[in-house]
Amino acid sequence: MDEKPSKRAGWKRGLLWTLLVVGVLLISLVGLLLAFEWRPEQFMETPVSGGGEVSGEVPEQLTLVSWNIGYAGLGKDADFFMDGGKMARPPDVGVVRDNLLAACEYVGKNPADIVLLQEVDSDASRTFGIDQIGAIARVLPGFFYARAINFKVPWIPYPLLSPIGRVESGLLTLSRYKPSSPKQRNCCHLCEPLSGYGC
């Protein structure tokens, strides 16, 4: 008769230890991610690469293309979880390649004087490590280009079954005319009074 209460107590103790270990691991993971969180300076130099064909004065009127390419992972068939869907990342590398190729074709066939692209990945798990900056820059070989990182995370463990993983993404500016002194301005400091913590 004394064995049943001791088995029940042992089972409860094992469950408590399991929950404690899982809790400590989750807290450690969150702490680790926060410790390695990327916190950019308010103003950062933005190196310029490439080589423009046009020199001299910039005309009074310029043509401009501005486009959020959605890291070449959000095509017409995307069901993105942040928009209420189920997909956290593209199903395979072929989807990213196809979307990136379509973006490159559009930019190559419609070369404006300045091209402003958002959500361009350079080294991200969600886009299978494809260098999107290099691919786009090759389409416009006569353009200068500068990159501003605005999303850099060592690992996003969400959603649990298909985590986003490592992300390095940002803005890509391409121009026929060489920028004189490009800088990246990060506005995270504006959020601090509201959120209570840094960027």
One pLDDT digit (tens) per residue for the chain, 199 residues: 555 667 777 788 888 899 999 999 888 877 876 777 777 777 888 889 998 666 667 889 999 999 999 999 988 888 887 778 888 888 899 999 999 999 999 999 987 999 999 999 998 999 999 999 999 999 999 899 999 998 888 888 877 788 888 999 999 999 999 888 888 887 765 555 444 334 4
Question: What's the token pair of residue 31?
Answer: 């702490």
Query: What pLDDT is stored for residue 174 in this prediction?
Result: 95
Neighbours of 186 (CB within 10 A): 16
Q: Which of 55, 47, 87, 57 is nearest to 71 (CA)?
A: 87
Query: What pLDDT is stored for residue 199 in this prediction?
Result: 45
Query: What pLDDT is stored for residue 55 in this prediction?
Result: 61
Cα four-point dihedral sign 126, 106, 75, 118: positive
Query: What pLDDT is stored for residue 2 in this prediction?
Result: 54
Q: What is the pTM of this model?
A: 0.78
